[in-house]
Structure 1
Amino acid sequence: MINGSQRLRRSAASLGIAALIAIASLGAGSAALADVTPSPSNIQGSTGTLVIHKHAGDPGAPGDGTQITDPAKITTLGQALSGVQFTVQRVSYAGTPIDLTSSSGWDQSQNATPASVVAAPYSVGAGVTASTDSGGQAAIPDLPFGLYLVTETSPGVNPIVSPVQPFLVSVPYPDEGTWLYTVHVYPKNKLNDTTPTKSVAAPDAPVLGSRIVWTVNAPIPPLSAGDTYRSFSVTDTLDPRLSYVGVVVKLDGATLTPVADYIVSGATTITFTSAGLAKLAGKTAVSAELTTTVSSLGADGIIPNTAVVTTNGSARTTNTPQTKWGPLAVVKRDAATQNTLAGAVFEIYDAKNGTKVAGPFTTDSGGRFDIDGLWVGNDAAASKDYWVKETRAPAGYVLPADPWTKATVVAQGTASPATLSISNTQQIGPNLPLTGGAGSILFVVLGSALALAGVGAIVVRRVLASRP
C-alpha cells in the first residue's frame, strides 16, 4: 500500500518551487528533462482513476502506484476480499480543493497527513464510496486531479480485525519521471481467523433449578503491526429457559477483575474496559465461564446456547452446545384391578442403590406424581436412566420386596412426560373362623325331621281323603 504522507512529501520535495519554475521556463525545448522529472506543467488532462486492490494479509512495503502484474508477486498478495467499502474524499486547503496541476497545490500537500487533513486549515469533502468486487477490486474513475483521503468504512462480510488505516493518495501520482493517471493501491487487512468455542458442563444437580456452567473459549486474534485492541466483547444471548447467575472471565487462565477489566450488561454482554483491552496484547485467549439456572423445559426440553466474540468490530460465532431435559410421571396402581392408588411415597436416584437426586414424592388422589424436569445429558445425548425407589406403599398394600424400578427419561416438553406405572399387591386380611361343628349338625338333623314330618302329613291326608 502507498504510504501516503511519506510518498507525497518526497514527491513534493522533489518538485521544489525552483525546479518547477526552471522546468516551466524551458518550454518545449526541454522535453527530455520534462520526461525525467514530473512537473505540474506536464500533467495531461484533468481527471484520473483510483483502483483499490483489497487482500488479506500483513501490510508490506509501500506501493508505487503501478499495477502488480508479475505472477510471482500476485500469488503473494493473499486472499482477495470482496464487499469491502471505501470512501474517497478530496482534500481542501483553506476551503479550496487542492489542485495538483499547480505548484501551490503540491506545497499544500507536502505536510498533509491522514490525521491532519480533517482539521483546519485542511478539510475533506463528502466524497464517493465504492466496494470491492469478487476479485477484490474497486475502481473510482473521473476523479479531478487532487489529493484524496481514502478510508475503509465497512468490512462487508469479511472478518477484518485490523482494518487498513486511512491513507492519502494523489491523482495523478508521480512515478519515475512520469505521471500515473490510473493509480493502483494495495491496502491489506489482517483477518480474524480465530474459531471461538463453547461447551456446557453437567448441572450441579439433575433437576430443574440447578446450575449449569457454559464456557466460552475465545482465542485472541493477532493484529497488524501498529494496530491496537480497540474493542473486545463476548455476547451470550440466553435462551428464555435459562436465568443468568454470574460470570468469571479469565485471560490465559488468570482471573480478571469485574468492573475494572470488564463490565456485564444486557443479555448477556461482557465488554472489556480500556484497562482490560490493554491486557490483551501478547495473550492467547479469553475464557468466560457463565453460570445459569434451568427454569423450564419449554416444548422440547432441548436448550441451546451460542455466543458471539467480537474483536475490533470483527464478530466470530461459537458452536452451539445443548443441555437436554425431560419430564417424568409415576403412576401407582392396584396389581389386580389396575385402579390408581394415592399415598405411595417415592424417591429418585441416579442409579440403583446410588445417590438420591430428588424426592420424596407422594402420589396424589389420582395415584400420580410428576417431576417437571430431569437432566438427560448434553449435546448428542438421547436419554438417561434414573431409578425410582418406593419407600412407602399405600395403606393396605404391600411394599415390594425389590422397591427399585428403572425409568428412562428422554428430552421433551412437560406435555409429554415419560410415564412409569408401578403396581402394588393388596395386603391379605387376618384368617376368619370356618363355618361348621356340632351346632351345624343339629341344624341339619332338625331340618331333616321337619321335612319328613311334612311329607308324612301330606301322605296321611291323601289316605283319609281316598276312603269312602
Structure 2
Amino acid sequence: MFTTNNKLVRKGMALAAALGMSALGLVAIGAPGASAAPAIDKDQEFTISVEPQVGETGVTADGKSGKFDENKKLSSGTFKLEKGDYDVTTTAGYNEATKATTATFKLATSPAPETKDLDASGKTSFTVKPGLYRLTQTKAPTGSKAALPSLILIPMTDPDTGTWMDTVTVYPKNGSAGKITKKDITAKDQVVKPGSEMKFEIESPIPTLTAKADGDKLKSYKVTDTPSGPLKVDSTNSKIEKVEIVDGATTTALVTTDYTVVENPYGIQLTADGLAKLDDNSGKTLRVTLTGKVAPKGDEVWQKEASEWVIKNKAAYNYDSEKGENGGSETDPQDQPDIPMAKLKVNNKDGQTSINDKNAEFSVYACDDAATGDASTKGEAILTGLKAGKVSDEPLAARDNNLCIVQTKAPEGYELGSAVQKVGFDKTAVKAAADAKKAVEVEYQNTLKSSDILSKLPLTGGAGIALFLIVAAGLLGGAYYYARRNRVRA
C-alpha cells in the first residue's frame, strides 16, 4: 500500500511539473517524450520593432505595438542588436536568460551583431530567431542622450492572448543631453589676420544620469574642437587655458590632473578625478577655454578660393556611464564661430573722382571704439604700405569690428590726409566680396590740394623777389649807418 501511494505521488508531481513547464511554453504535453516537439521552435522567425521616443520616461514596456507617438519620434539614430549565448529552447537556457542583465550578458559567437539606422518614420526593425538579445543605441541625435542598453527575450507572450507575439515592439527613451555651445572670445578690438591667435570658449552640459539614483557614474567624458578653413587648432597651434565647472555666476577651476589633452580632434578627456567632480555637479556646465591660430601668410589655404577663407570650428562632447548610458552633441551652426575673411582695397578719392593714380599709401589699424569724438587707432598697424587702388596681400577677418585707415603718403598734388577714416568690415560685406571673388573696397577722401595751400603763401618770384631785395637792402643799410655812428661817438 505504501509503495503504491509513493508511485501515485511521484506520478502526480511529474504531471504537475509538466503542466507548470507547459504554462511557461517550455515543453509539450500529450506526446511521447522521445518524439515531443519543443514548445519554442528554434528556427521560427520573429520581428523586433525598434520605435524610440524623445523623453526620459514613457509607456510601460509590454512588447505590444501601437504606442508610438509621432510627435516624439527621433530625427535620427542608430541601433545595434546582439544575440546572447543562451539556448532559450531548453529549460536551463531559458532560466539563465531571464536572470541575465546588460552587465552580465554573454555574447554569442554567431550571428554577428547587426546595426541599423532609423528610417524616415523614426523606426527600424530586426528579424530574429529565439534567444536573448541586447539592444544598444550607438548614435543619438545631436543634443540627445542615447537610450540605455536593454535586453529583449524572444519569443515573448502577448499579455492579451497568452500566445507568442510575432512582433515585439520596444520604445527606447532618448532624454535630453543638453546643448553645447562655442563662441569666439578674442579681444573685440583685435583685427584677425594670417598668423593671429584667437581664443574660444566651449560650454557643454554635465549630464544627470538616468540611473544616477541606482549608483550609475560617468565612465568617460570628452570635449573636442574641430576647426576648418584657415583656422588651426592642434597641439602645435593651441593650448588649453582653463577648464571650469560653471554654476550661474560661480566657477570652480579644475586642476591639470583632472583631465588630459587629446589629439585628432584636439580637446580634453576627463580623468577619474575629473569624472568624480562632474558626478558631484550634475546639471551644471563644463567650460573649456582654448586658443587656436589662423594659418600664417604663405599657407596653402590662401591659394584656395576666397569663399573658403572662413574661420569655423565646431565643438563636440560625448560621455559614457558605467551602466551603459551614453550621449553628447555637436554645436549647431548658430552656436559656433563662422567668420569670413577677405582682402582689403582702399580707393583714394577726391569727392567722386578717383585719384588712385596719385600713388598714395595707407596703414590699417584696429579702431579704438571706446574713444569719443573723432575716430582713433589702437595698437600697432595690421597692414602697412597699402597702395591706393591695390588689393592687400593678406586677408582680414570680419568680426563685426571697425577698421581705421591712416594715410601715410600723400597723393601727388594733395596734402597728406590728417583724418583717421573709420570703415566697417562686417560679415555681410566680406561674404559678398568673397563670393564675388573680389576684395572689400573702402574709400579714403583727399580734398585739400597742395595748390590751395601754396596760394595763401607770400609771392616768391618776379616783382615779389625784387621788392624783397629792396627792403632787405634798406634794412642792411640802416643797420650799417647806426653801427658806424655808434663807433664815432664812442
Say whether residues 1:285 and 2:282 are aligned partners: no
Point out the structure with max Rg over C-alpha: 1
Distance 2:354 2:124 in 1: 82
Which residue identity lines up with residue 83 of structure 2 in the other structure?
Q
Q: Distance in 2 between the 1:307 and 1:285 partners?
A: 18
Partners of 1:267 and 1:287 in 2: CA distance? 17
- After superposition, the C-alpha distances for 1:18-38 in whole angstroms (9 at most, x for unaligned) are x998575369xx97x787675
2-side partners of 1:76 and 1:419: how far apart?
54
Using the alignment, how far apart are the partners of 1:262 and 1:251 within structure 2?
16
Report whether the alignment pairs 1:425 with 2:457: no
Residue 377 of structure 1 corresponds to 399
Kindly provide the amino acid, as one letter, of the partner of residue 239 in structure 2: G
Distance 1:58 1:148 in 2: 25
Alpha-carbon displacement from aligned partner over 1:94-134 (angstroms, at most 9, x marks no partner):
xxxx253x444446556544444528xxx553256374663
Q: Aligned pair 1:350/2:367, yes or no?
A: yes
Q: Does 1:386 align with 2:404?
A: yes
Counterpart CA distance in 1 for 2:172 and 2:346 is 65
Aligned to 2:27: 40
Query: 2:255 is paired with a residue of what secondary structure?
Result: coil
Higher mean C-alpha deviation, range 327-336 or range 291-300:
327-336
Q: 1:233 aligns with which of 219, 222, 238?
A: 222
Output the CA distance in 2 between the equivalents of 1:272 and 1:150.
Answer: 28
**C-alpha displacement at 1:363, in angstroms?**
5.4
Structure 1 position 309 matched with structure 2 position 316: yes
Go from structure 1 to structure 2 and tell me whether the alpha carbon gap of 1:158 and 1:301 turns closer, same or farther (over 3 Å shift): closer
Q: Which aligned pairs between 1:204-353 and structure 2 lie closer than 5 A? A: 205-206=190-191, 208=193, 209-226=195-212, 227-243=216-232, 244-247=237-240, 248-252=242-246, 253-258=251-256, 260-281=258-279, 282-294=282-294, 295=296, 298=302, 299-300=306-307, 303-311=310-318, 312=326, 314-318=328-332, 319=334, 320-330=336-346, 348=365, 350=367, 352-353=374-375
The superposition leaves residues 355-376 of structure 1 with CA deviations (integer Å, 9 ceiling, x where unpaired) of 3344498758999795745554
Normalized per residue, the structure richer in strand is 1
Counterpart among 111, 120, 145 of residue 126 in structure 1:
111
What is the distance in 2 between the residues matched to 1:369 and 1:55? 56
Opposite residue 197 of structure 1, the aligned amino acid is T
Query: In structure 1, what is the Cα distance between the partners aligned to 2:217 and 2:403?
Result: 52
Q: State yes or no: 1:197 paired with 2:181.
A: yes
Give the 3-state SS of the residue equivalent to 1:41 in structure 2: coil
Counterpart residue type for residue 291 of structure 1: T
Q: Deviations over 1:242-286 (max 9, x none)?
A: 344333332223233346324142353333334333332314222
Whole-angstrom distance in 2 between the partners of 1:268 and 1:225: 30
2:376 alignment partner, SS class: coil
Fraction of identical pairs, as percent = 17
Instruction: Tell me the secondary structure at the aligned position of residue 307 of structure 1.
Output: strand
C-alpha separation in 1, matches of 2:244 and 2:148: 30
Shift of 1:139: 5.0
Are residues 420 and 159 of structure 1, via their aligned partners in 2, closer, same or farther at CA, if it must alter by over 3 Å?
Answer: closer
Offset at 1:203?
A: 4.1
What CA distance in whole angstroms lies between the structure 2 residues aligned with 1:388 and 1:256?
A: 46
CA deviation vs aligned residue, 1:115-169 (integer Å, no higher than 9, x gap) = 44528xxx5532563746636362535x24xx42323264475765243324252
Query: 1:418 offset after TM fit, Å?
Result: 2.5
Distance 2:269 2:380 in 1: 39
Indicate if the aligned counterparts of 1:88 and 1:128 stay in contact, CA closer than 8 A.
yes
Count of equivalent residues: 394
- Kindly state the Cα deviation for residue 174 of structure 1 after the two structures are TM-superposed: 9.5
How far off is 1:217 after superposition? 2.4
**Deviation by residue 1:166-212 (Cα, 9 ceiling, x = unmatched):** 42525355979955354735352333453322322344522535443
Q: How large is the Cα RMSD of the aligned pairs? A: 5.1
Residue 51 of structure 2: aligned partner:
54
1:360–1:37 CA distance, 2 compared to 1 (3 A) = closer
5+ unaligned residues in a row in structure 2: which ranges?
1-8, 30-37, 319-325, 369-373, 467-490
Is contact 2:316-2:331 (8 Å) kept?
A: yes
Secondary structure of the residue aligned to 1:431 is: coil
| Cα drift, residue 425 of structure 1 | 1.6
CA–CA distance in 2 between the matches of 1:261 and 1:368? 49
Asked if the contact 2:177/2:329 (under 8 Å) is kept, the reply is no
- Does the CA contact (< 8 Å) of 2:367 and 2:376 recur in 1? yes
TM (normalized to structure 2)? Answer: 0.61
